[in-house]
Amino acid sequence: MVEMVVTIGLIGILLLALAPLFMALLRTGAVTQARDQANQVTTLGMEDLQRFTYSQLGVCAAPSATAPSGLSDVVVLSCASQVATYGESPCSPVVGNLPPAASYTCADAGITYTVIRWVSWADTGHIVKRLAVYVSWTDPVGAHVVSQQSSVRAPDPDSVVGLSPPSLSSPQVTGSNPAIIGGAWTLQFSVTTSGLTTSDKVYVAFSSLDGSGSPTDQSVFLSSGDGTNWTGSISSSSGYTFGEGSQYFVFSAIRSTDGKSNSVVDTTAQEFCTSSDPSCSLSTLPSILSSTVPSTVSIASSGALTASVPVSVTVKNVTSTDAISVAFQTQNGLVSLYLSPNSSCTTSSCTFSGSIPSSAGYAFSATTQNFYFTATQDESGVSTSVDQGSTVAAASSPVTFTAS
């Protein structure tokens, strides 16, 4: 009996000595389990982000926490509300809710995990997005944080939604107007842009005549010392050939980093006349007699057309083989569409018509803009002098877009 009591006492002393070790082992197991669960929550948070398309990757508002290094340029989407409905175990976001929530919490085994997700731009050109998920929690050992990061590159230029297309304003063509064909003349071009650098491209597009008298598209690149103010010029010695007539000059910009572009039209038509006809009044020149466009056009909140838009123009001194087009400004730049002649078409009166289909996907801003009609007369094969040819006849009509 004495020996048994002594043995039990020794075992008790031994167990008492080993108790801290057992407690440490239990605590280590609990901490390891908590970290494993935190890593799972982090992985699920990252996988949830990766199920979105490139253009959908972003948050409605930046997380309230201080951004980690390299994640301060947050991709913020235009959204009315942020969905924050999440499951508990295994703490994964509910599939199908848009947009992704920047932060949420979940609990497992008595531990609450705080998840903060960052979607930030990884480059100044806004082509690559960086994804980061930070999960923090507190256990008996203390506070902990685990994280994962990844990056996604835009699959094509149309997916680069971070930077708006470059904008152009104050386009001007100054100098000789009219420019006298065969004489000395100079045209200066200037335009102001935003969202560009000096390594990007800005140019002016216009039409001239080739050796056979056919209209050809031309472009002159402008230069800038600051990426904002762009200038250039052409003159009678530049080698371009113009017939009598008028045309609009189109200014366009292309950003090299993401390929996005935009255009704007100088609203003053430039005339090219001859010394024998300095007012471009030659009776054989094409002229636009009238144009028909809706005074108001309804668009959805996204800018999309709610219905197709009919357009037509009546032109004089053209044939059905000449080119008649209408140009208009969309949210992604200038668009030009060619119109088709009616069956009854004479040189004294020829009507061309067409429509801007709602299915084309053009997006417009709720504002008033001009539709620019051009009638390009093809003088190739016609045995007349350049005085009787024409580059373009031009006219414009205002259209007001209203959001429905």
Indicate whether 150 pLDDT > 50.
Answer: yes
Nearest one of 234, 296, 257, 67 to 157, comparing CA atoms: 257
The parent domain of residue 64 ranges over 31-157
Q: What is the pLDDT of residues 94-109, one digit of tens each?
A: 555 566 778 888 877 7
pLDDT: which is higher, 30 or 225: 225
Pairing of strands 296-299, 393-403: parallel
Residue 112 near residue 104, CB atoms below 8 Å: no
State whether 172 and 153 are in the same domain. Answer: no
State whether 39 and 59 are in the same domain. Answer: yes
In a domain, 238, yes or no: yes
Q: Which residues have CB under 8 Å from 214's CB, separation 6+?
A: 378, 379, 380
Quote the pLDDT of residue 385. Answer: 45
Quote the pLDDT of residue 86. Answer: 46
In a domain, 3, yes or no: no
* Residue 162 pLDDT grade (very low, low, confident, very high; cuts 50, 70, 90): low
Quote the pLDDT of residue 380. Answer: 55
State whether 399 and 305 are in the same domain. Answer: yes
Instruction: State pTM to two decimals.
Output: 0.57
Alpha carbons 10 and 16: distance in angstroms, whole number: 10
State whether 127 and 187 are in the same domain. Answer: no
Q: What is the mean pLDDT of the chain?
A: 80
State whether 172 and 137 are in the same domain. Answer: no
pLDDT: which is higher, 104 or 22: 104
State whether 98 and 132 are in the same domain. Answer: yes
Least confident of 33-47, 154-168, 283-297: 154-168
pLDDT: which is higher, 387 or 210: 210
State whether 74 and 213 are in the same domain. Answer: no
State whether 182 and 119 are in the same domain. Answer: no
Give the whole-number percent of the chain exceeding pLDDT 70: 82
Least confident of 83-92, 243-252, 389-398: 83-92
In a domain, 16, yes or no: no
Question: 3-state DSSP call for residue 335?
Answer: strand
In a domain, 232, yes or no: yes
* Residue 88 pLDDT grade (very low, low, confident, very high; cuts 50, 70, 90): very low
State whether 287 and 344 are in the same domain. Answer: yes
Alpha carbons 29 and 34: distance in angstroms, whole number: 9
CATH number of the domain enclosing 269 = 2.60.40.10
In a domain, 18, yes or no: no
Q: What is the pLDDT of residues 251-304, one digit of tens each?
A: 988 887 766 778 888 888 898 888 888 888 777 777 888 889 999 999 887 788
How many domains is the chain partitioned into structurally? 2
State whether 225 and 146 are in the same domain. Answer: no
Length of the chain: 404
To which residue do tokens 């890593």 refer?
39
Instruction: Write down which residue in 110, 136, 157 finishes a domain.
Output: 157
Instruction: Write down which residue in 123, 157, 191 finishes a domain.
Output: 157
Q: What is the pLDDT of residues 338-372, one digit of tens each?
A: 899 987 788 788 899 999 998 888 888 888 888 88
Q: What is the largest CA-CA distance in the chain?
A: 139
In a domain, 19, yes or no: no
Quote the pLDDT of residue 388. Answer: 42
Question: 3-state DSSP call for residue 142?
Answer: strand
State whether 140 and 171 are in the same domain. Answer: no
In a domain, 23, yes or no: no
Question: 3-state DSSP call for residue 9?
Answer: helix
In a domain, 26, yes or no: no
Rounded to an integer, the average pLDDT of 198-225 is: 87
State whether 307 and 224 are in the same domain. Answer: yes
Instruction: Write down which residue in 117, 135, 157 finishes a domain.
Output: 157
Quote the pLDDT of residue 403. Answer: 82
